[in-house]
């Protein structure tokens, strides 16, 4: 092909892992923290270790309803013992005299002297409960939960950087934590660009003009941001003009940690985001070797020192000199996939999360692919009743139905095909969107 004055070689496609590493290198965890009620801590990232100040359980206690005894007093089946006391959960018993039993209920502390619980199914109450016959010889220590069996005093129960799930919230409550210090929620400005975008409800389907589409990306991106614990400001659809784009970006940068857009970052005459971000800060345009989702933009916008938002943040000790910018591709599946694989870990890093990589499972492919792609592919698939994976029929980046149908992504290395029965890398969408 003859050289032309305007011909320029295309830059090589950047591997996904390299793009993610570059972004994470810029994602300094936010300095802002807040103290929240443990009731409201689900999904938040801990800003400090949580150390137990007591044992859990605090005392040896009964694991079953039954009778607390000394194992040495029950050497044969059919032994009968007088019942000296009754101990319910939340009440302490008196020391257990040798040769007696205590009626005890699940969770009640063991009386001093007792070392075993005989569950009530192995006993018969006699004389209206004054005596008990024990039908089986117990093992010493049976049905007793030891003090500190769950948590030892002084141990680190939850670690800084851990993203709390319901079990962690319960664990914190179990050691008496009324409040927890967590990373502040990232403040994200979400905006769309493009005169072709229409909000649902603004125009009925029958009246849609040729070339216009409903703005679906804005809805699922907002939902994904909220699931990640972000404070989201919806800036709506920015008109396709340089002045409007500059004004929107400058205003958003002053009060947010990240500006997220979908579409509009290219070299077309009506794509104003790229020059606007470059005018206000810096921007890198990357062609990523992933499918769907090749185009991505990352940059930063300087926050004016005179900004009231910046001043307030500085006073609170959490000022940021820059606001991050991420521009996602416009096709809905591309936008969805790049959010999950790149924006999600970026936002978790901003919150100081220690673990950002989604778990990967090896599952059997009940399908085959015949055409390898030069890019790393993330194919939409769903687990079937036989324990394998089915593939959605249309893998186009414009078919959002594929994301709704799928329950995960099959991670296919560049240049690879899949034969039926192969075990493939599967990433659960439930994990990615938790």
One DSSP character per residue, 163-220 reads BP-HHHHHHHHHTT-SEEEEEPPPEEEEEEE-TTEE-TTTS-GGGPPTT-EE--HHHH
pLDDT at 265: 65
Confidence (pLDDT) at 407: 96
* Average pLDDT value over all residues in the chain: 91
Q: What pLDDT score does 311 carry?
A: 42
Identify the band that residue 272 occupies on the pLDDT scale cut at 50, 70 and 90. Answer: confident
What's the pLDDT tens digit per position in 65-119? Answer: 999 999 999 999 999 999 999 999 999 999 999 999 999 999 999 999 999 999 9
Weakest-pLDDT range from 131-145, 315-329, 354-368: 315-329
| pLDDT value of residue 321 | 78
| pLDDT at residue number 304 | 66
pLDDT tens, residue by residue, 147-196 = 999 999 999 999 999 999 999 999 999 999 999 999 999 999 998 876 67
Residue 330, SS3 per DSSP: coil
Residue 58 has pLDDT above 80, yes or no: yes
pLDDT, residue 339, reads 97
pLDDT of res. 309: 45
SS3 3: coil
> Cα 392 from chain centroid?
25
pTM of the model: 0.86
Residue 146 has pLDDT above 80, yes or no: yes
pLDDT at 266 over 70: no
* Mean pLDDT, rounded, for 396-403: 96
Ramachandran bin of 59, using left for φ above 0, alpha for ψ from -120 to 50, beta for the remaining angles: beta
Q: Are strands 376-383 and 360-365 parallel, antiparallel or unpaired?
A: unpaired
For 84, phi and psi rounded to 5 degrees?
Answer: -90, -20
Say yes or no to pLDDT of 312 above 50.
no
Residue 409, SS3? Answer: strand
Least confident of 97-101, 205-209, 365-369, 371-375: 205-209
- What percent of the chain has pLDDT above 90? 77
Show the tokens assigned to 277: 């971000």
Residue 320 confidence class, pLDDT cut points 50, 70, 90: low
317 alpha carbon, distance to own chain's centre = 27
């Amino acid at each position: 092909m003859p050289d032309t004055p305007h011909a320029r070689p295309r830059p090589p496609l950047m591997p996904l892992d390299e793009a993610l590493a570059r972004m994470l290198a810029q994602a300094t965890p936010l300095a802002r923290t807040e103290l929240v009620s443990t009731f409201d801590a689900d999904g938040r990232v801990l800003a400090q270790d949580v150390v137990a100040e007591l044992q859990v359980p605090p005392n040896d206690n009964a694991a079953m309803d039954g009778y607390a005894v000394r194992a040495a007093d029950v050497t044969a089946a059919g032994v009968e013992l007088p019942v000296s006391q009754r101990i319910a959960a939340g009440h302490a018993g008196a020391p257990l005299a040798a040769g007696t039993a205590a009626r005890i209920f699940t969770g009640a502390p063991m009386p001093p002297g007792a070392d075993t619980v005989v569950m009530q199914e192995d006993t018969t109450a006699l004389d209206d409960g004054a005596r008990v016959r024990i039908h089986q010889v117990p093992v010493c220590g049976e049905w007793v939960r030891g003090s500190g069996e769950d948590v030892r005093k002084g141990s680190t129960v939850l670690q800084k950087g851990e993203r709390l799930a319901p079990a962690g919230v319960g664990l914190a409550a179990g050691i008496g934590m009324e409040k927890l210090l967590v990373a502040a929620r990232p403040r994200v400005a979400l905006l769309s660009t493009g005169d072709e975008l229409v909000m649902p409800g603004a125009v009925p389907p029958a009246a849609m003009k040729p070339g216009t589409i409903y703005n679906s990306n804005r809805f699922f991106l907002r939902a994904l941001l909220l699931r990640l614990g972000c404070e989201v400001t919806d800036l709506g659809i920015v008109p396709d003009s340089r002045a409007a784009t500059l004004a929107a970006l400058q205003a958003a940068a002053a009060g947010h940690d990240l500006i997220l857009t979908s579409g509009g970052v290219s070299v077309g005459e009506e794509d104003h985001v790229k020059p606007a971000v470059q005018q206000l800060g810096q921007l890198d345009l990357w062609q990523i070797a992933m499918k769907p989702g090749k185009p991505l933009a990352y940059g930063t916008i300087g926050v004016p020192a005179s900004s009231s938002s910046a001043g307030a943040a500085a006073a609170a000790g959490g000022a940021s000199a820059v606001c991050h910018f991420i521009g996602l591709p416009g096709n809905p599946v591309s936008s969805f996939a790049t959010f999950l694989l790149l924006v999600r870990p970026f936002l978790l890093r901003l919150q100081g999360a220690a673990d950002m990589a989604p778990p990967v499972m090896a599952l059997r492919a009940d399908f085959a692919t015949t055409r390898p792609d030069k890019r790393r592919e993330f194919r939409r698939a769903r687990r079937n009743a036989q324990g394998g994976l089915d593939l959605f029929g249309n893998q186009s980046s414009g078919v959002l139905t594929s994301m709704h149908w799928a329950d995960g992504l099959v991670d296919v290395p560049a240049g690879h095909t899949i034969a039926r029965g192969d075990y493939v890398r599967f990433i659960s969408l439930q994990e990615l969107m938790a």
